[in-house]
Amino acid sequence: MINRVVLTGRLTKDVELRYTQGGAAVGTFNLAVNRRFTNQQGEREADFVSCVIWRKAAETFANYMHKGSLVGVEGRIQTRNYENQQGNRVYVTEVIVENFSFLENRSQSNSNGVSGNSPMSQQTPPSTINDPFTDGGAPTVTDDDMPF
């Protein structure tokens, strides 16, 4: 059986980081994922997906990701159920995050309304000194550069 989920979206609020009685970190968050099509009014709708991340990854994720951050997550769908205080059975479907990627840097986050208070925001951009594309042109390639 295959149970794989790959999502790209923005956090709807800061990650809620808690610890179990055994000391394991667990983070919960909702990811707003845009649909690929528009509705009849021409507006793009989004799905709001509940996600859970565990242990050291949860702590790292909570430290660097904040409301509005663009992130990619990979994991699996899990369902669970419980009985609430009113005696009703409640079913929950969530993504258990096994891997994640930061998809934008600080300047991009700030232009999307994300505060720059994360440790990630204090990083400096990579040097462009040796980047052949910084002048807007393509690198020069000769026949001697080709391996065949």
pLDDT digit string, tens, across residues 92-138 = 999 999 999 989 876 555 555 444 443 333 333 444 444 444 455 55
Strands 89-102 and 44-54: parallel
Mean predicted confidence (pLDDT) in 16-39: 93
Q: Which residue, 38, 57, 49, is CA-closest to 76?
A: 49
Give the H or E element holding residue 62: helix 55-64
Q: Are 53 and 17 in contact (CB under 8 A)?
A: no
Q: Which residue, 48, 49, 50, 60, is CA-closest to 17?
A: 60
